[in-house]
Structure 1
Amino acid sequence: MINPIDTLLAEKGVLLADGATGTNLFAMGLEAGEAPELLNATAPDTILALHRNFIESGADIILTNSFGGTRHRLKLHHAQDRVHELNRSAAEIACQAAAEADRKIIVAGSVGPTGELLVPLGALTYEEAVEAFAEQIEGLKAGGAEVAWIETMSAPDEIRAAAEAAIRVGLPYVYTGSFDTAGRTMMGLLPKDIHGVTNGLEQAPIGVGANCGVGASDILASLLDMTQERPEATVIVKGNCGIPEFHGSEIRYSGTPELMADYVRLAVDSGAKIIGGCCGTSFAHLAAMRQALDSHIKADRPDLETIVERIGPLRNKPASANETGKDEARRERRRSRS
């Protein structure tokens, strides 16, 4: 398998991934309750504009409009028989935008969770999950996607099923978890344990990390744990643009371009190799992130106190390696005094 991420990392050092798909599509006319994936067929020019805007804002990696592209998600919109078509179209549109750029742009096929619980908590078997993900990834590969970008995952077995599907189809893959529950994923995975989820599979991931979750401070805390556990890994961080807040009937994210620029600096200092934005991250935010990335000289690794001081308070108490290390140090000091 060709690894386009390592090739571009060798040239640039750190890569900028794109921003929010859903948030920006809502601003471009997507209606509440509508499946974004259907726009690949009904409004391809809108999706093309989305990708072009991210590229113009400085993205090195763009994610296809296919997050909910498994048959389990598409059945909610009576489109479960259009998996290959919609995913292929998603990749083709992204590839068109990438081909127009004056620099290398990696097209990553977005693969989100099925929305189903796997056995024994739910009815979906592991083998059925692999089949569903393979069906989606086949479409993404047919459309030209270079990488399967498995994202916003909570369950280790679902990550593993998607990874196995990518290997079966013949695409390199990355995966990211959403650490939104007291510093863990909803299914209990710790950031430091993200690296080992696909151990034993025929092909290893070409990147792992975190996306979405709560806010920028929380995802940076997860990043510290992931890079502390395996400093040599290609670690991805794609955080939300601040915290969602209701303004009347609208949800807006609190992060300013200035905050997201500082998030990029802290992410670089914390060891991330791929940095992007998730929910709420607009084209203006991404442009500020690009400028910050290009101008930043890597500094000392921050601690949680520095992150909170610069980005804002943690929304979740982290169940993190950093906190565990501090607890061990405190216990050692107590022992040494006794």
Structure 2
Amino acid sequence: MTNTFIELLNSKDVLLADGATGTNLFNMGLQSGDSPEFWNVDEPNKIKALYQGSVDAGSDLFLTNTFGGTSARLKLHNAQDRVFEFNKAGAELGREVADKSGRKIAVAGSVGPTGEIMQPVGDLSHALAVEMFHEQAEGLKAGGVDVLWLETISAPEEFRAAAEAFALADMPWCGTMSFDTAGRTMMGVTSSALAELVEEIANKPLAFGANCGTGASDILRTVLGFAAQGTERAVISKGNAGIPKYVDGHIHYDGTPALMAEYAVMARDSGAKIIGGCCGTLPDHLRAMREALDTRPRGDKPALEQIVETLGPFSSDSDGTGDYVAPVRERRGRRKT
């Protein structure tokens, strides 16, 4: 099977993904508490502008505005019966933007967590989770995405359920977890455990990795953890644009385009094949990342001390595995943000 995403993955040394969805939509007027997926139908021009911002900045792929597109998430807005509609619409808008770009751009169908806790800890059964993810996947497939993109997952049980659902939809996929709790996901998964998980499941992803989390430094430490497992599968790194701070009544991420350019190069040298941004990442950040990836030669894997010196301290003194303690210190001559 070949499609634009697979062709790009096989032909390019590194792929630049997109940036933030929420941050950019809030800048366009989305209100806190609103469901972004409604805009796929109610504000299509704004969603196309979101996608176009990534394309114009040089991204090779972008994610659809469907992160909260499961029935579990849409139920919070009394829209659980509009799963197929919202996901298909978000994908169709993406397909329109990509197809008019004049170059190969992959459209990735974003699939976020259900927001519920799976059994045996919680109440969500495996069968129901598969059903939810399958319903969303079919909408994204109908809208024309090249690949399904599971992101910000914490529990291995949910990862497995999504993989099974994507097999039912007969779609290639990628999957990332968020390592935001001292080098682990909220449910305790380590980088090494995810690297093992993707090889254990029957429907393996084309690529796997990390997104969101607690900052550029931390996600690079996680990427190094993937690489240490000797994986031959493509690794994804989509880190936040710095650290969130509350400024004048709004959340502001302190990562500059220059810092994200450094992050992109170090992510590549750490072993990532697909590199993008998450919360706080704007088109200006992506432009700087694109330029850095295109103009700076590949280097050796960065040492932990080098990551700290360049991008700032880690949020914790452990990478989550217990194998070593990483340096946590303020860097000297820190770049102004």
The Cα shift of 1:231 comes to: 4.3
Please list, as runs of the form range in 1=range in 2, the aligned pairs for 1:146-295 lying within 5 A after superposition. 146-295=146-295
Number of the residue aligned with 2:34: 34
Distance in 2 (alpha carbons) for counterparts of 1:105 and 1:195: 27
* Aligned-CA RMSD value: 1.4
**Deviations, residues 251-296 of structure 1 (Å, cap 9, x unaligned):** 1001000000000110111111000000000010111111111112
Instruction: Indicate conservation of the 8 Å contact 1:20/1:278, yes or no.
Output: yes
Q: Write the letter of the residue equivalent to 1:241.
A: A
Residue type matched to 1:159 in 2?
F
Partners of 1:25 and 1:41 in 2: CA distance: 14
Contact 2:118 2:158 survives alignment (8 Å): yes
Range with greater deviation from structure 2 (34-43 or 5-14): 5-14
Q: Give 1:230 deviation, angstroms.
A: 2.4
Are 2:50 and 1:50 aligned?
A: yes
Match of 1:59 in 2: 59
Amino acid aligned to 2:173: Y
| CA contact 1:221–1:318 (8 Å) conserved in 2 | no
- Structure 2 CA distance for aligned equivalents of residues 37 and 181 of structure 1: 28
The offset of 1:194, in angstroms, is 1.1
CA distance in 1, matches of 2:81, 2:5: 32
Partner of 1:324 in structure 2? 323
**Deviation per residue, 1:56-112 (Å, 9 max, x gap):** 001101100000000000001110000000000010000000001111001000000
Deviations 1:119-168 (A, max 9, x none): 11111101100000000000000000111100000000101101111111
Question: Who is 1:72 aligned against?
Answer: 72
Partner residue in 2 for 1:331: none
Instruction: Measure how far apart 1:202 and its partner are.
Output: 3.5
Query: What is the SS of the residue equivalent to 2:252?
Result: strand
1:197 aligns to what SS in structure 2?
helix
Q: Matches of residues 119-130 of structure 1 in structure 2 within 5 Å? A: 119-130=119-130
Write the distance in 2 (CA, Å) between the matches of 1:324 and 1:59: 35
Q: How does 1:6-21 map to 2 (within 5 A)?
A: 6-21=6-21
1:208-229 Cα offsets, whole Å, 9 max, x none, are: 0000000000000001000111
Letter in 1 for 2:220: L
Structure with the higher fraction of residues in helix conformation: 1
The residue matched to 1:85 in structure 2 has which SS? Answer: helix
Q: Is the 8 A contact 1:180 1:316 kept in 2?
A: no
Counterparts of 1:243 and 1:62 in 2: how far apart (Å)?
23
CA distance in 2, matches of 1:229, 1:19: 27
Structure 1: 5+ residue runs without aligned partners?
328-338
Match of 1:55, SS state, is: helix
Q: Normalization by structure 2: what TM-score?
A: 0.94
Matched, 1:313 2:318: no
Change (3 A) 1:95 1:190: same
Question: Residues 68 and 112 of structure 1 are in contact (CA less than 8 Å); yes or no, is this contact kept in structure 2?
Answer: yes
Any idea what SS the aligned residue of 1:113 has?
A: coil
Quick check: 1:3–1:206 contact (8 Å CA) kept in 2?
A: no
Assess, with a 3 A threshold, how the Cα gap between structure 1 residues 237 and 65 changes in structure 2: closer, same or farther.
same
Higher mean displacement: 233-242 or 9-18: 9-18
How far is 1:248 from its partner? 2.5
2:255 is aligned with what amino acid?
G
Shift of 1:200: 4.5
Give yes or no for contact 1:231–1:271 (8 Å, CA) kept in 2: no
Distance across 2 between alignment mates of 1:276 and 1:99? 21
The residue type equivalent to 1:57 in the other structure is A
SS at match of 2:118: coil
Question: How many pairs does the alignment contain?
Answer: 326
Does the 8 Å contact 1:163/1:198 carry over to 2?
A: no
Residue 33 of structure 1: how far off its partner (Å) = 0.9
Q: Check conservation: 2:51, 2:97, Cα contact below 8 A.
A: yes
Deviation >6 Å, runs of 4+: none
The residue type equivalent to 1:148 in the other structure is: L
Q: Percent of aligned positions with the same letter in both sequences?
A: 52
Deviation, structure 1 residue 4: 4.1
The aligned amino acid for 2:323 is T
Secondary structure of 1:52's match? helix
Deviation of the 1:326 alpha carbon? 7.4
Taking the aligned partners of 1:59 and 1:289, their CA distance within structure 2 comes to: 9
